[in-house]
Every structure is written in structure tokens, then in C-alpha cells.
Amino acid sequence: TKPRVLLCRTLPPQSLHRITTEPSIQLIQSTGTSREEFLELARGVDGILVKLTEKVDDELLDAAGPQLKVISTMSVGYDHINVPACKARGVRLGNTPDVLTDATAELTIGLLLATARRFGEALRAPKTGDWQAWTPTWMCGTQLTGKTVGLVGFGRIGVAVAERLQAFKLGKLLYASPSEKPHAAGRLNAVHLPLPRLLAESDIVIVTCALTPETKHLFCTATFSQMKSTAIFINTARGQIVKQDDLIHALKNGTIAAAGLDVTDPEPLPSNHELLQLDNAVVLPHVGSATIETREAMAHLAIDNLLSGLAGAKMPAEI
Ligand code: GLV
Ligand code: GLV
């Protein structure tokens, strides 16, 4: 009998066509309407393809049962997955690194420019009548030329951001990460510093690190206080790396100048949330990897991981 695979909700069109016509599996698709439905459909399956919106925990593993072989997530981050619990049960895990690096780095640069040059307010002004005249001081933001940028996280995405930043004639490029990366750092002229020094010296702080127990709430009042009052804070990693109430406070009382966020806590953010009222916060709805090309590539890689895992073969990207 063919292995049964649960697909949570949907995929981009080409990869959806591929998985729905894949002859080696029997596909079950959840509507994604409720956790209960998902758990119910998981019963007895051999493989599950999830997104970062599905928690993979003991509850799901119990619901699936001992025959479960592989869980494949269509995301590079896997903080939604209890990895030790999966390993303890011999469930193999796959994610989607590399294929989303360029898209996420592009979005990070876009968000940086949008925040530094106040796109949120500037895009509103022509529509609301706030555009009165060209004046020498109106809608002035921060220029990148000559500035010091500090990267928190210097993995695939951090390095790809650093590559793109080379075009902006920065003053200095700094990075903080658990281990030094001399090869990439040498090529990109990036200097490794302990986080407190990076925060104190940077005009712009960009977070691309993974969410782990060590990075959870890494950015809080204590860390924002170490930053320049003119600093711009960018996060395209995970919302929970930031203690969001502390960030709101820092933005309101001038501890830092502005923030650009592609990730929040929770997601989605309620539309009446205080963060969305702040002129010095630019908030995007977690679209770092959201290009047509990248989302298809992520889904295809997730399918490749799933099928290889089911076949007991080497997975292209195994966690
Ligand atoms: C998205 O945030 C991902 O982890 O792929
Ligand atoms: C990164 O956060 C992504 O959306 O891939």
C-alpha cells in the first residue's frame, strides 16, 4: 500500500499539481480550518507536509501514530517543530534552506530602505492631503552612506544581506554570531563583535538569526538601551526574538529611532495593535520569502524532502 501523506492546506500551483499527481503516495489534504481537523486527519499517516503555521509537538506526533516517518516543513525556520520529540520517535525532518535566501535578503534591504526613508508615512501622505509642498525638512529620513550596520546572525540570510549592503557605501559592517565566520567576513569586510559592542556602535541593527532558546526575547529594554537613540532596528527573522512590548516602549520614548519588522508576535498582528499606530514602525506581514519563484522552490524542496524521507533515502535538506 502507498504511504499516506497529509498536506496541510495548499501549495503554490506547480508544486500543488506535482504532489496531487504524485503516483507513489496517497494524499490527504486538510483545509486548515482547525487544529482538531488537522490532528484527526494526521491519524495513521506516514508523512506530513507543514508550514510554519502548524505546531509540530507531542500532540501531533501522538495523533499521527508510530508509523509516522517524516515531517517536511515548507520553511527554513523550524522553531515551530519540537525537534527532540521527533528525533526520539525516529521521525525524520526536512526544511527549506538556501532556496529562500535571496528573496529574504531582498526583502530585508527593501524593509531597511522603507524604514530609513519613512515609506510608511511617505506612501500615505499623497493620499491624505499631508503632501503640502516640497520643503527642505519634510519627511527626512536617514541615509545609509557611511553608516555602521550590525548584523545579528551571519548565516545564509545574514551573509546574503551583507552582500547586498556592499552597494550602499557603508562605513562599517559588523556582525554578531555564536561563531566567527572568517571566510564570509573577510570577503565582505565584516567585523565580528560581541553583541553589546555591536549594539553600541551600529546605526542600523538587522536581525536574521534563528529563534532558539538563546535568542528568544534577546531584544528587550536592556538591549534596546545599549543601542544609539538614532538607531534603526530591522527584524526579518522571528517575532519572538523581540520582546515586543519593550520595542513599542523604545520606539515611543526615543530609546531607538525606528523599526522595520517583517515578523511580529503574534502573527497575524491584530489590525488595531499599538505597533501599527506608530509612525516610526514599518510592519510587513511576514513576506520575506514571498516571491512566486521562491515559494515554488520552497514547496518543491519540501516535496523532495518528503518523498526522499518516505523512501528511506537521503533528504536534500534534513534537519
Ligand atoms: C519563514 O519565515 C521561513 O522560516 O521560511
Ligand atoms: C524569512 O523570514 C522568510 O520569510 O523566509
| pLDDT tens digits for range 105-148 | 999 999 999 999 999 999 999 999 999 999 999 999 999 999 99
CATH code of the domain covering residue 261: 3.40.50.720
Q: How confident is the model at residue 7 (pLDDT cuts 50, 70, 90)?
A: very high
Give the residue whose CA is nearest to atom 5 of ligand 2: 289
Q: d(Cα 200, Cα 25) in Å, to the nearest integer?
A: 54
* Runs of H (alpha helix) within 140-291: 156-165, 182-188, 195-201, 221-226, 244-252
Question: Which atom of ligand 1 lies closest to the CA of 100?
Answer: 5
Quick one: pLDDT at residue 33?
86
Domain count, the chain: 2
Instruction: Evaluate whether residue 68 is within a structural domain.
Output: yes
Quick one: pLDDT at residue 157?
98
42, 64 in Cβ contact below 8 A?
Answer: yes
- Which ipTM score applies to this complex? 0.69
- Say whether both 169 and 238 belong to one domain: yes
Give the residue whose CA is nearest to atom 5 of ligand 1: 75
User: 76: closest CA among 166, 176, 153, 179?
Assistant: 153
- Say whether both 93 and 113 belong to one domain: no
Q: Residue 246 phi/psi, 5° resolution?
A: -65, -35
- Say whether both 86 and 110 belong to one domain: no
Question: Which atom of ligand 1 lies closest to the CA of 74?
Answer: 5
Quick one: pLDDT at residue 241?
98
Q: Is the CB of 76 under 6 A from ligand 1?
A: yes
262 alpha carbon, closest ligand: 2
Quick one: pLDDT at residue 32?
84
Q: How confident is the model at residue 199 (pLDDT cuts 50, 70, 90)?
A: very high
Which amino acid, one-letter code, is at 176? A
Determine the distance separating the centroid of ligand 1 and the alpha carbon of 293, expressed in angstroms: 15
Average pLDDT over residues 51-80: 97
Q: Which domain covers residue 87, as residue numbers?
A: 4-97+293-310
Q: How confident is the model at residue 290 (pLDDT cuts 50, 70, 90)?
A: very high
Any idea which residues carry the catalytic annotation? 286
| pLDDT tens digits for range 175-195 | 999 999 999 999 999 999 999
Determine the distance separating the centroid of ligand 1 and the alpha carbon of 211, expressed in angstroms: 11
Determine the distance separating the centroid of ligand 1 and the alpha carbon of 238, expressed in angstroms: 8
Question: Which atom of ligand 1 lies closest to the CA of 298?
Answer: 5
Instruction: Evaluate whether residue 288 is within a structural domain.
Output: no
Identify each DSSP E strand in 13-105 by its residue range.
Answer: 26-30, 47-50, 70-73, 92-94
Determine the distance separating the centroid of ligand 1 and the alpha carbon of 46, expressed in angstroms: 24
Average pLDDT over residues 52-68: 97
- Say whether both 150 and 164 belong to one domain: yes
Residues in the chain: 319
- What kind and span of H or E run contains 301? helix 292-310
- Say whether both 59 and 113 belong to one domain: no
Instruction: Evaluate whether residue 218 is within a structural domain.
Output: yes
